[in-house]
Amino acid sequence: MNKMHGGPAFPHTFPAMAAPLGDQPVPTFEPLKPTSVTCHGMTVRDYFAAHAPITMEDARNHWKRTATSYTGNWPDMSVLLAVLAKLRGEYADTMMAERAP
């Protein structure tokens, strides 16, 4: 499934100097050529997911409500982290849908 991620959250372009690449030595001295480098970093969706106001307690409560075989014992941490990631992803998807024109 292809999701729209909203593009880069904090795009930044900065000037850099480009050196020749490769393992061949440069036979004559050549000055470095100016170029620009663009760093995209995280997407807007990633930013929304990372800053979602959903806690581990919310994940435990969600797991407890939706678990089909709840016996009174809490699941492993890996299960709770997977639930937390799922909830934060759903939150981010909702925020992206609100942003859409």
65-92 pLDDT, tens per residue? 888 666 667 788 998 999 999 999 999 9
Q: Which residues of 16-30 are buried (b: 16+ CB within 10 A; e: fewer)?
A: eeeeeeeeeeeeeee
The CB-side HSE value for 98 (13 A sphere, CA atoms) comes to: 9
| Contact call for residues 34 and 67 (beta carbons, < 8 A) | no
Q: Could you read off the pLDDT of 19-74 as tens digits, one per residue?
A: 655 565 655 555 666 677 677 778 889 999 999 999 999 999 999 888 866 666 77
Q: Where are the alpha helices (DSSP H) in the chain?
A: 44-50, 56-66, 77-99
pTM, two decimal places:
0.65
Domain ranges in the chain?
12-99
